[in-house]
């Protein structure tokens, strides 16, 4: 009987654009059991991606708000739902697993959970994340590598997102922390993920390893991460992004999968690609060592060559080239990424492509919907 409530939760989460497919070996149920008690799973079935107050949840399902509210707050602290304050009132939001409750497990990386997550990703969730037409993830190029061009688009400027943010927090990288817990961690900077605005507020309220930083400190962090050879990525949207991560292939679940299984087309490239001047190239291979996507290799003449299919346009190779043989050039028009205007358009595209019944709302859409009800 206990498995029944978890099966209901799996089926409910799979109605979201981001999905939560059934695991062929029961790995989906095993994962959910490490996260939710049966009572929490039942309460999660009452949530919607549109967000509700504790009073509304209790009223619609005949529960006691004095019992339900503490449960909701406890679930928010454990990253099992998203809590957002709109007009000072907490609203509780059903979240997908990726990007969502998985990223909120910073304080709960137990061996049991990590093992269950890894098995489920291999059995079912990996295809959900990487098998869709519209990706949730987008590469952000190194701005310094593009400083000599006038054609860089606003949505490609990391500085813009930071300068426009109302609130910025830096958190431990979930992937590196998880890898360390599994005994396979790398030495890259741990505190390297930026959460913006409502995401920053949620991370702080949930007691995750997070601290508020200034815009100047955030820009310095991005500069240091670039020097360290980390690649920045964010939501696949031009505006209203909620996070900026600085990733490696050593620990990052997304980037390591892309590099290992040649899934370069499943994450949105920057609008740029690497070009190597063979006359200037000294075959030092500094760019090859710097590229985490295996896009560079020696050609027949020993000079470095680039694989267009693997180049993600991040720009790390250019900053590593001592002979200035590398430039970033715009991709041909037919290869330019079609980036959604905002997270709402991204979610709506995913929903239409997968024919899922539940509509995810961006932070802006969520606040607008709730404000319209007041």
pLDDT in tens, 341-369: 999 999 999 999 999 999 999 999 999 98
Number of domains in the chain: 3
The last residue of one of the domains, among 217, 237, 266, is: 266
Provide the pLDDT for residue 26. 96
Tell me the per-residue pLDDT of 214-250, one tens digit each, with 9 for 90 and over: 999 999 999 999 999 999 999 999 999 999 999 999 9
Say yes or no: 120 and 11 in one domain: yes
Answer whether residue 338 is part of any domain.
no
Say yes or no: 112 and 28 in one domain: yes
Say yes or no: 141 and 261 in one domain: yes
Tens digit of pLDDT per residue, the chain (374 long)?
568 999 999 999 999 999 999 998 999 999 999 999 999 999 999 999 999 999 999 998 778 999 999 999 999 999 999 999 998 999 999 999 999 999 999 999 999 999 999 999 999 999 999 999 999 999 999 988 886 665 788 889 999 999 999 999 999 999 999 999 999 989 999 999 999 999 999 999 999 999 999 999 999 999 999 999 999 999 999 999 999 999 999 999 999 999 989 999 999 999 999 999 999 999 999 999 999 999 999 998 889 999 999 999 999 999 899 999 999 999 998 999 999 999 999 999 999 999 999 999 999 999 998 877 54
Largest CA distance in the chain: 75
Where in the sequence is the domain holding 60, given as residue range(s)? 2-128+345-373
Answer whether residue 339 is part of any domain.
no
Task: Indicate the pairing of strand 243-247 with strand 296-298.
Answer: unpaired
Say yes or no: 192 and 250 in one domain: yes
CB 113 within 8 A of CB 101: no
Say yes or no: 237 and 201 in one domain: yes
Rg (CA), the chain: 21
Joined together, the tokens standing for residue 145 give 């590598």
Sign of torsion over alpha carbons 107, 110, 114, 120: negative
Say yes or no: 260 and 291 in one domain: no
For residues 204-225, one letter each, b for 16 or more C-beta atoms within 10 angstroms of the residue's C-beta and e for the rest, the string is: bbbebebeebeeeebbebbeeb
- DSSP state letter for 156: G
For 168, phi and psi rounded to 5 degrees?
A: -130, 135
Say yes or no: 30 and 93 in one domain: yes
66-to-38, 43, 127 alpha-carbon distances in Å: 19, 14, 40
CA distance 50 to 365: 9
DSSP string computed for 16-81: STT--PPPTTSHHHHHHHHH--HHHHHHHTT--TT-B-HHHHHHHHT--HHHHHHHHHHHHHTTSS
CA distance 329 to 313: 9
Say yes or no: 166 and 182 in one domain: yes
Joined together, the tokens standing for residue 206 give 């949930």
Say yes or no: 257 and 305 in one domain: no
CB 25 within 8 A of CB 124: no
């Amino acid at each position: 009987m206990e498995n029944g409530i978890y099966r209901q939760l799996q089926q409910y989460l799979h109605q979201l654009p981001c999905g939560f497919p059934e695991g062929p070996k029961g790995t989906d149920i095993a994962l959910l059991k490490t996260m939710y008690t049966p009572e929490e799973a039942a309460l999660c079935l009452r949530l919607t991606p549109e967000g509700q107050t504790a009073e509304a949840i209790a009223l619609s399902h005949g529960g006691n708000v004095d019992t339900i509210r503490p449960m909701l707050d406890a679930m928010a602290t454990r990253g099992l739902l998203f809590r957002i304050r709109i007009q000072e009132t907490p609203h509780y939001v059903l979240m997908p697993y990726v990007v969502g409750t998985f990223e909120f497990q910073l304080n709960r990386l137990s061996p049991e959970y990590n093992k269950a997550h890894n098995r489920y990703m291999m059995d079912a969730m990996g295809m959900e994340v990487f098998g869709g037409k519209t990706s949730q993830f987008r590469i952000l190029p190194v701005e310094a590598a593009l400083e000599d061009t006038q054609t860089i688009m606003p949505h490609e400027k990391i500085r813009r997102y930071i300068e426009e943010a109302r609130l910025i927090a830096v958190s431990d990288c979930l992937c590196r922390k998880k890898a360390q817990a599994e005994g396979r961690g790398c030495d890259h900077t741990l505190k390297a993920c930026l959460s913006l605005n409502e995401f920053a507020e949620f991370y702080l309220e949930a007691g995750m390893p997070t601290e508020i930083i200034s815009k100047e400190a955030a820009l310095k962090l991005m500069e240091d991460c670039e020097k360290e050879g980390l690649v920045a990525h964010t939501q696949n949207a031009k505006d209203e992004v909620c996070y900026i991560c600085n990733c490696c292939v050593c620990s990052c679940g997304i980037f390591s999968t892309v590099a290992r299984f040649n899934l370069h087309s499943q994450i949105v490239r920057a609008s740029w690609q690497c070009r190597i001047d063979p006359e200037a190239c000294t075959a030092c291979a500094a760019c090859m060592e710097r590229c985490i996507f295996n896009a560079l290799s020696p050609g027949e003449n020993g000079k470095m060559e680039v694989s267009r299919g693997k180049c993600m346009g991040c720009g790390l190779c250019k900053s590593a080239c001592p002979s200035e043989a590398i430039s970033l050039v715009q991709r041909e028009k037919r290869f330019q990424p079609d980036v959604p205007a905002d997270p709402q358009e991204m979610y709506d595209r995913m929903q239409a492509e997968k024919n899922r019944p539940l509509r995810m709302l961006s932070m802006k859409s969520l606040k607008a919907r709730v404000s319209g009800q007041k």
